[in-house]
């Protein structure tokens, strides 16, 4: 039953209608099964952190690779991705570009001021040397938005498709109670320096609690990730962090140099398909008490996007 140095490689795009598959010579999507027996013994290990979204992305890669005769399994680790790459003890490491850059070259990372995603990738690539290679990063950029309700926007004359640097927001800021995620750098100085915003109050909490506090009017604005499904589901207004006051990063696969030449073309296809809409979808699949497991969500998304065939037991 269905669940309720950058290396570039080439391959047939997976997201294609059946007629186009025939016309271009691409074969129908293969089935994806978790490696067992001898396949499991030779499977590549994809190391990833403990965050559910990170594990879901890792499972996307593992299932897709396994479907292309390159068995792969996911190994959750409480160690940082940079540490794992430096030890050179795993086949592939999936992590976020800011964490990679900070751990692989702390000095180079410290020299960056409000780094762009491209600058982070540059630090990673320069740090890898000959022991590993950087594969195509996801097209999605994980950023932050300052989220408000339509009522707050109307009361303060903030445009509904605006940016944090909107002058109307700056004028209203000193009366706003703003919530920020616990994983962000200290928000007060960044808001003041980058956006001339000194809020009446700053509250730090988990993202789910911030969203609830905004909806129930306990807070006037909250800083959420751009892939938070609740923004769209609740009809909220997301003001863009155009000046990069807060981190902007991508999911990055780093592969051991020993197997880099063997990476199937589907790896770059996955990176291109994993845009912001895809990450919102994956988060929606795994969020909440009734959410799917990372592996279930990954398989569901791969089937929907045409990367792998629908399992026979889905019915």
pLDDT tens-digit map of 107-164: 999 999 889 999 999 999 999 989 899 999 999 999 999 999 999 999 998 887 766 7
**Structural domains of the chain sorted by starting position, each given as residue range(s) with its CATH number in brackets:** 18-141+249-314 (3.40.190.10), 144-240 (3.40.190.120)
So what's the pLDDT on residue 251?
Answer: 98
- Give the pLDDT score at 19: 39
Low-confidence stretches of the chain (pLDDT < 50) are: 4-11, 13-24
- In 168-197, which positions are buried (b, 16+ CB within 10 angstroms) versus exposed (e)? ebbebbeebbbbbbeeeeebeebbeebbeb
Per the CB < 8 A criterion, the answer to whether 55 and 294 are in contact is yes
pLDDT at residue number 162: 63
Mark out the alpha helices in 15-51 (DSSP H runs): 18-24, 37-41
State the pTM of this model. 0.87
Q: What is the pLDDT of residue 23?
A: 36
pLDDT value of residue 274: 98
| Phi, psi of 176, rounded to the nearest 5 degrees | -95, 145
List, in sequence order, every residue forming a beta bridge with 45; answer none if it has no partner.
Answer: 73
Rounded to an integer, what distance in angstroms lies between the CA atom of residue 292 and that of residue 60? Answer: 14
């Amino acid at each position: 039953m269905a669940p309720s140095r950058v290396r570039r490689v080439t391959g047939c795009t997976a997201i294609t209608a059946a007629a186009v598959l025939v016309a271009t010579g691409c074969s129908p999507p293969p089935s994806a099964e978790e490696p067992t027996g001898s396949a499991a013994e030779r499977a590549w290990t994809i190391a990833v952190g403990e965050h559910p979204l990170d594990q879901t992305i890792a499972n996307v890669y593992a299932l897709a690779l396994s479907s292309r005769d390159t068995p792969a399994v996911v190994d959750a680790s409480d160690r940082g991705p940079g540490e794992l790459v430096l030890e050179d003890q795993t086949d592939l490491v999936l992590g976020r570009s800011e964490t990679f850059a900070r751990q692989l070259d702390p000095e180079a990372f410290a020299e960056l001021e409000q780094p762009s995603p491209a600058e982070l990738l540059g630090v990673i690539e320069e740090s890898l040397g000959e022991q590993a290679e950087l594969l195509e990063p996801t097209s999605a950029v994980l950023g932050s938005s300052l989220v408000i309700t339509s009522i707050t926007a109307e009361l303060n004359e903030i445009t509904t498709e605006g940016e944090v640097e909107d002058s109307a927001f700056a004028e209203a800021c000193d009366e706003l109670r703003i919530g920020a995620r616990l994983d962000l750098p200290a928000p007060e100085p960044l808001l003041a320096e980058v956006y001339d915003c000194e809020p009446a109050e700053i509250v730090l909490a988990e993202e789910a609690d911030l969203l609830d506090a905004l909806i129930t009017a306990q807070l006037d604005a909250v800083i959420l990730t751009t892939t938070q499904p609740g923004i769209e589901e609740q009809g909220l207004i997301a003001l863009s962090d155009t000046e990069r006051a807060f981190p902007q990063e991508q999911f990055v696969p780093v592969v051991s140099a020993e197997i880099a030449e063997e990476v199937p073309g589907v790896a770059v296809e996955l990176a291109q398909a994993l845009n912001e809409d895809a990450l919102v979808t994956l988060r929606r699949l795994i969020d909440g008490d009734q959410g799917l497991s990372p592996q279930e969500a990954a398989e569901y998304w791969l089937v929907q996007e045409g990367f792998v065939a629908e399992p026979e037991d889905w019915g």
